[in-house]
Structure 1
Amino acid sequence: MIAQRRGQKDESHEWYVRAAEDGDAVAIAYFNSPGIYRPPKGHALGSETWDRDTEWDEEDEEPWQMTPRTSRILSCNLEILADMAHWELSELGDEPISPNGFGIFFALLPASTWGQSRSWRRKVLRALDDLNEDITLGHPPEPRCAAEEMALHFALQSASAMTIDEPDLVTEFTQGIPQQQGDYDWSICSDLLFQDHDVLFLYDPNLQGCEHPDNPLNRYMRIGDLRPEGWFEEFRNVSPRDPTRGFVH
């Protein structure tokens, strides 16, 4: 962490690798932080899914919204992640995440959540389903709590990887949906679908403790309660979800 504070990124990365290899939970989680998947240099984005050279009719600028193809692929990945999380939930139960274990969703969450109960994890799983319900109803996914923000970060990562690595599958999922300018612009989605990206601070070894509302940095940056027990507290500036809704999974 000292190297990171000094701006020595290569050295700090090396130390995190060593700590992760030694089983340090925070260091392991650091490498699981979700982000937009980008193609290797020189590789185009999705051979048949999006063509940057396509000529589009210029129209008056309108407020941004996800294109139908983008919505479809994001919805598919929310559903895929939910199915995988449901399987992992059945395997884990109330057992804590092991630093040396293998996981496909809950094990990728910040280390501060690794000891949470089955009921807590099931609410995180519901966050994936709630966001997918937004899309099903014809709206962009709107995260209403920290759990939904984290779920959406992972869905965007999965969707962006799919458009790069599995163009045939993307073509299959979007069959019959017209191509539009802005299809699969996941970076824009990441910029505009969130109020902020503070929830990703939980992965930074240098910011451990900032999740607590009494932490000086938390108070200064007005981060809010990012402790696991605060993940489902809905933001005050969004419309609440139906408190009587059930669970899809």
Structure 2
Amino acid sequence: MSQRIHFVASKTEDAQAALATLRTQYGEVPIDEAEVIVALGGDGFMLQTLHRHHARGLPVYGMKLGSVGFLMNQYQPDVLRDRLARAVPTTLHPLCMDVQTESGSAVTATAFNEVSLLRQTKQAAHVRVYLNGAMKLDELVCDGILVSTPAGSTAYNLSAHGPILPLGSNVLAMTPISPFRPRRWRGAILPAATEVKLEVLDPYKRPVSATADSYEVRDIVEVTVRESREQTMNLLFDPEHNLEDRILNEQFEN
């Protein structure tokens, strides 16, 4: 693994202190000259880093200095060069979200974890579900619905009782949030190449928002979600604590 490092850090006190220490200890090159990004923070900051820098195509090695660190390695500053040399890459394929709003505008965004739809008021959302152009659910009554990548399957998807997906499984999780009708539908596992269209029924009375990771679009009428094969991002992990093992082990946690 290359040693031309650019450091980024969340704004927390611990992350900023670590940033100063690592810059002094290892030096730093500008982002345009870097061959690896080292991100200091939690999972939320890692997602920010992926969104901010995914166009550069640089691998990212995270160290945990936040409350949640599923996408991060442990913080051990004294052996960083050795860890980068041994790091194992995991390739992420993000989701592309295309949204149509009530006002007629079109919005596109990228999600490395999930695309989620949520009701904006106390009224339940009514959503029609299409897969590859074929209608699969005429009317899903729910608080929301999400489509998750394998990397994001242990986040919001798991909280909504969705399945944990192994990396490399080439599938996506579609998970309803507090579904009311149909009563027995609890979601689906889809081939990664599936194009998902979610149509909001009665958007004026029952407004719905769509979120790609943390980017929200309100008052939507239709969302199309598909996996992007063109955009990829490589996360680097210590061999003894890689993301694939973490996702596997998560299925046996109490």
TM-score by length of 1: 0.28
Q: Of the two structures, which has the highest relative contact order with CA contacts closer than 8 Å and spacing of 6 or more? A: 1
TM-score by length of 2: 0.28
Structure showing the higher strand proportion among its residues: 2
Structure showing the higher helix proportion among its residues: 1
